[in-house]
Amino acid sequence: MLWPQAPQFDVEKVVEACRAWLTSEEAYDTVRKRLPELKAREKAYRVAGENGKLLSLLLAYRPAQRFDRHAKLLKDAYTTAFVQRAEGRKLYDAIRAAAVHGSCPLCGLQQVAQVDHHAPKADFPLLALTPLNLVPVCGPCNQGKSSKLATSVTEEAFHPYFEDLGPDRWLHAQIDTDERVAVFEVRPPAEWDEVKKRRIGHHFESHDLACRYREAAGSVVAKRRRRDAELLEQTKSPAEVRAHIRGDVDSHAAHDPNGYETALLRALAESTWYLGGGMKFLYA
């Protein structure tokens, strides 16, 4: 997963960008009065995120925030002033543009299409305008994500601004020669702690990545099948084909060690069936 840089602006900048709309709603002074509190919560969010305590902070916040007297105003400010009006939209687009190569940080599969509230705005209206709580995602990941906050640490969603999974390999694929498809699975490194292992498994399941990666792999295979078959035809050597694929693995792994294409190419290089001529039938 390639994770974007955190936004370089704060909640005050967002409130100012929403000013014209808030003024038209006669609500600018109201939100302005609450700004010190919004900034304090933003700071607490950052500190908790940096210290791996975000979920416990959010669970402590939730009961009071949901029924905050300005909940509707803050959610409306997000939906209307931040997303739809020009001044807010500039900041919204800056958050989207932070995605690495425009790619969704949660799946690495589709292009970023929208911005998601890490802590859902329905439960956390006081974080609705907080940039640190806004993450660029693709449509399917946003729709697949639960609108409820996890209640257990093993189901806590990864936060791209605070957590780095590092280069350890956790995504694997194999070629299923009966079904003639690639099958993806999570195999976290043994040295990861139990919570992190369960969280990556939950991430994989909740975003339906086994199914989405299996389907996406079909188009990758379709693009390279002929070239691999020609190389086998010319060289009569599965080992040559393997060496060629491994060169591609290296460049993909340098870009994203746990990208689905990296896992797929590794699986192709390890499949004697594919290397020996099965490439003509995979996803065919």
Among 107, 171, 249, 267, binds Zn ion (CB under 5 A): 107
Nearest to 245 by CA among 234, 260, 231, 259: 231
The nearest distance, CB 110 to Zn ion, in angstroms, is 5
Q: Exposure string (b/e) for 98-127, b if CB count within 10 Å is 16 or more?
A: bbbeebbbbbbbbebbbbbbbbbbebbbbb
Q: How many CB atoms lie within 10 A of CB 223?
A: 9
| Residue with Cβ nearer Zn ion (134 or 138) | 138
Report in angstroms how near the CB of residue 145 gets to Zn ion at its nearest.
9
Nearest Cα residue to 54 out of 129, 130, 159:
159
Q: Are 168 and 1 in contact (CB under 8 A)?
A: no
Interacting span for Zn ion (CB under 5 A) from 89-97, 130-138, 190-198, 248-256: 130-138
> At 50, is the secondary structure helix, strand, or coil?
helix
Q: Which is nearer to Zn ion, 132 or 216 (CB)?
A: 216
CB of 107 to Zn ion, least distance (A): 3
Rounded to a whole number of angstroms, the minimum distance from the CB of residue 170 to Zn ion is: 17
Cβ atoms of residues 158 and 199 within 8 Å? yes
The letter for the amino acid at 172 is H
How many chain residues are in contact with Zn ion, going by CB under 5 A? 5
187 and 172 Cβ atoms separated by less than 8 Å: yes
Nearer to Zn ion, 106 or 269 (CB): 106
Per CB under 5 A, contacts with Zn ion among 132-151 are 138, 141
Of 20-28, 29-37, 106-114, 153-161: span binding Zn ion (CB under 5 A) = 106-114
Cα–Cα distance measured from residue 204 to residue 265, given in angstroms and rounded to the nearest whole number? 19
The H or E element that residue 137 is part of is strand 134-137
For 156, the token pair is: 């806590």
Footprint of Zn ion on 66-105 (CB under 5 A): 104
Phi/psi for 139 (5° steps) reads -60, -55
21 versus 92: smaller Cβ distance to Zn ion: 92
| Smaller CB separation from Zn ion, 82 or 260 | 260
Find the shortest distance in angstroms from Cβ 105 to Zn ion: 7
CA–CA gap between residue 115 and residue 131 (Å, rounded)? 10
Q: Whole-number minimum distance, CB 133 to Zn ion, in Å? A: 18
**Identified binder of Zn ion from the candidate list 14, 17, 106, 134, rule CB under 5 A:** 106
265 lies in the site for Zn ion, by CB under 5 A: no
For Zn ion, the binding residues in 206-225 under the rule CB under 5 A are none
Q: Which is nearer to Zn ion, 104 or 269 (CB)?
A: 104
- DSSP β-ladder status, 134-137 and 114-117: antiparallel
Identity of the residue, 212 or 225, whose beta carbon is nearer to Zn ion in the bound complex: 212
Cα distance between residue 39 and residue 43, in whole Å: 6
Write down the least CB distance from residue 104 to Zn ion, Å.
3
For the CB of residue 52, give the shortest distance to Zn ion in the complex, in Å: 23
Cβ(34)–Cβ(70) below 8 Å: yes
Residues binding Zn ion (CB under 5 A): 104, 106-107, 138, 141
